[in-house]
Amino acid sequence: MLDFPRWKIGSIIGLLAALCLLAIPSFLPESTTSQWGRIPHPHINLGLDLAGGSYLLLEADTADLAATRIEAMRDSVAGTMRNGTPRIEIGDISTRGGQLSFLLRDPSQVDAARERLLAITGGGAGMSGQREWDINVVDTSRFVLKPTEAGLTQAVDTAMKDATEVVRRRIDELGTKEPTIVRQGATRIVVQVPGLKNPQALKDLLGKTAKLEFKLVDETANPADLVKGIAPIGSQVLPYPGNPRGVPFIAVKRSVIISGDQLADARQEFEPQTNAPQVAITFDAVGGRRFAKVTTENTGKPFAIILDNSVISAPNINEPILGGRASISGNFTVESANSLAISLRSGKLPVALKTIAESTVSPDLGKDSIRAGVLASIVAALLVIVFMFVTYGRFGLYANLAVVINILVIVAVMAMLNATLTLPGIAGFVLTIGTAVDANVLINERIREERRRGRSVIQSVELGYKEASRTIFEANVTHAITGVIMLLLGSGPVKGFAVVLLIGICTSVFTAVTFTRMMVALWLRKNRPTTINI
């Protein structure tokens, strides 16, 4: 137990020295460490409660998702029936009452129509094995498709996973550091962005679905009917706030020419002639070919650029657009154009999100929390150091040195893991200071007991470390199990506390047992004492 060859001594000292050096950048201002160039300088990130910033609780609009699913199924049904072989003639598809219904013109094609519906609905069952759509035939020739509860639940779960990733990409585009984006429950997402100075911009960015579509304008629509929401068959009425004709509505074809899913890039630029802000978009290879084909076939006709079911502009196609690039112009500012570009680059949200709770933490409050936490840590460390030195003398001094090194090692490990320190994390630091010396208390008391039994100094120290190590290991395993449970099941402050606790458990065992045993072994080897004060 007390045998430490030179290679082991060098390894322990080298490892701890390297970790202590890696902890230094976290105690320096980031403006200083950023000038170090290629020198490694991992830095602990401060959480929302310490650095200040914005907190948002977003909730999915499941009603909007259900309507979107029905509209998507409507397009699939229309395309499958009319483009298949043989062609199945159907009447207009109704979406009233949260279900799809349409009438077959030829009742003899009921079986063929059912087969095609089963194909596009996945045979009536989704990936979970549960039926997503109920298909019924009414009055021998009318089909009714109704989404099931299980299908909607599965769709919400899939949409929330995708929405969480889209939110993450959008916030990353803002250049913020270490945002916390976690799903809460079935339909909510928690967003914490430390250091953000403009929470309203974040709300606007995350609240934008960014569903971009290009559709042809239906020029046969009657302006008087548009106000009433009436559009010709195969078209729909959408709001058009900037309509130069004065009517804030416009009729567009239901079929989508091209969608935002086929975008390769979107950037804020300036219009060459007027220098007005605009958004330049670039389509991928498939989208570029599709856009070129449609603009070639419809030269001279207007088409609508639609964002989140609202028309931004409806220019004429003066000539074929062959380069796979287009621009979106409107009443943009530089900020709003850049925000739209970010939304389009990161992809559309599969479900609309609305803010149901928000709060802003000022940096001043965070500084007060840091000051209070640091003060608590210093006071706790000093009290522990004094107690250990008075109680155990030289062995207490070794324990104190291990505590100081343990604090630096925790900081270094958190910095290398890119972890975020929160106010509960500081509480974990304070707790770690106390528990770090707990192992040395057990060891020192066991050495005292062995000395009272009349054993020699070497035997007492060796047995003290050997026997106490078992208890230390078992006690820390139970702590670690609790920490893992908090880490897996907790969120926010609980998770922040668990991270520091788990790191502290691992580092404290190493410093309190291995490091102090090495120092004691070196002292015993050099001085060969016949008695010790402990």
pLDDT digits (tens, 9 = 90+) for 183-204: 888 899 988 887 776 677 777 7
**Closest to 403 (Cα-Cα) out of 510, 269, 279:** 510
What tokens were used for 460? 């007492």
Distance between CA atoms of residues 171 and 179, nearest Å = 8
Distance between CA atoms of residues 27 and 341, nearest Å = 37
C-alpha dist (Å) from residue 195 to 172, 199, 257, 260, 334:
13, 10, 41, 31, 22
Residue showing tokens 């070196």 = 522
The two beta strands, 45-46 and 420-421, are: parallel
Distance between CA atoms of residues 269 and 216, nearest Å = 25
Cβ atoms 211, 305 nearer than 8 A: no
DSSP line for 416-433: HTT-EE-HHHHHHHHHHH
Crossing angle for the helix pair 493-509 and 394-416, nearest 10 degrees? 130
DSSP 8-state class, residue 371? H
C-alpha dist (Å) from residue 60 to 56, 65, 212:
13, 8, 19
Q: Is 453 helix (H, G, I), strand (E, B) or coil?
A: coil
The two beta strands, 212-216 and 303-307, are: antiparallel
Which residues fall within 8 angstroms of residue 481, CB to CB, at 6 or more apart?
Answer: none
pLDDT of residue 194: 78
Residue showing tokens 């309507």 = 67
Torsions phi, psi for 310 (to 5 deg): -130, 130
Whats the size of the chain, residue-wise?
534
Residue showing tokens 């605009």 = 278
pLDDT tens, residue order, the chain (534 aa): 567 888 899 999 999 999 999 888 888 877 777 777 777 778 887 777 777 778 889 999 888 888 888 888 887 888 888 887 888 888 888 888 888 899 998 888 889 888 888 888 765 444 445 678 888 888 888 999 998 888 888 888 988 988 888 888 888 776 655 677 888 888 999 888 877 766 777 777 787 777 888 899 998 888 888 888 888 888 999 999 888 888 889 999 988 888 888 888 888 888 888 888 888 888 888 888 888 888 899 898 998 988 888 898 888 888 888 878 888 877 788 888 888 888 888 777 888 888 888 887 776 666 777 788 778 878 877 888 898 889 988 899 999 999 889 989 999 998 888 777 877 888 887 787 777 788 889 999 999 999 988 888 888 988 989 888 888 888 889 889 988 998 888 766 787 788 888 998 889 889 988 999 999 999 988 888 888 877
**Closest to 81 (Cα-Cα) out of 100, 101, 104:** 104
pTM score > 0.85 for this model? no
Q: Is the dihedral of CA 416, 417, 420, 425 positive or negative?
A: negative
pLDDT of residue 85: 81
Which residues fall within 8 angstroms of residue 180, CB to CB, at 6 or more apart?
Answer: 47, 48, 190, 191, 192, 193, 420, 492
Distance between CA atoms of residues 443 and 291, nearest Å = 76
pLDDT of residue 126: 47
Torsions phi, psi for 458 (to 5 deg): -60, -45
- Give 181: exposed, middle or buried? Use CB within 10 Å, 0-12, 13-18, 19+: buried
What type of residue is 50?
L
DSSP 8-state class, residue 208? -
CA atoms within 13 A on the CB side of 302: 16
Residue showing tokens 């010396």 = 437
